[in-house]
Amino acid sequence: SYVLTQPPSMSVAPGKTATITCGGNNFGGKNVYWYKQKPGQAPVAVIHYQSDRPSGIPERFSGSKSGNTATLTISRVEAGDEADYYCQVWDSSINQILFGGGTKLTVL
């Protein structure tokens, strides 16, 4: 079955750039979504259609997809960016939605 692989954790200093990857067998035409979740809160969408930002999401958040990897990039990282980040796709071959395992971003 399709699996999305994310690094479990990463850390970045304030003002620097965080790059979170999401690896899949072959993204092909699959749309990739990214969600941010802070402790004790429900997830919030930060990227849809691999690179578009929902309204209210800062321009510092960007996304891309190439080959077997989707990437969430957070520029000029702030303390408030510290959270868990999840990638997600819809696998039309089996009609299931898949989440990556999540990446815990720590701001130093």
Partner 1 sequence: EVQLLESGGGLVQSGGSLRLSCAASGFTFSRYAMSWVRQAPGKGLEWVSAISEDAVSTHYADFAKGRFTISRDNSKNTLYLQMNGLRAEDTALYYCVKDGELGFDYWGQGTLLTVSS
Q: Would you count residue 23 as binding partner 1 (CB under 8 A)?
A: no
Residue whose C-alpha is closest to residue 106's, from 22, 23, 14:
14
82: amino acid identity, one letter? E
71 sits in which H/E element:
strand 69-74
Nearest Cα neighbor of 87 from 106, 67, 60, 69 is: 69
List binders of partner 1 among 39-68 (CB under 8 A): 42-45, 48-49, 52, 54
Which one, 82 or 84, has the nearer CB to partner 1? 84
Q: Can you tell me which of 71, 81, 102, 107 binds partner 1, judged by CB under 8 A?
A: 102
Nearest distance from residue 69's CB to partner 1, in Å?
Answer: 19
| Amino acid found at 101 | G
Residues at the interface with partner 1 (CB under 8 A): 1, 31, 33, 35, 37, 42-45, 48-49, 52, 54, 84, 86, 88, 95-102
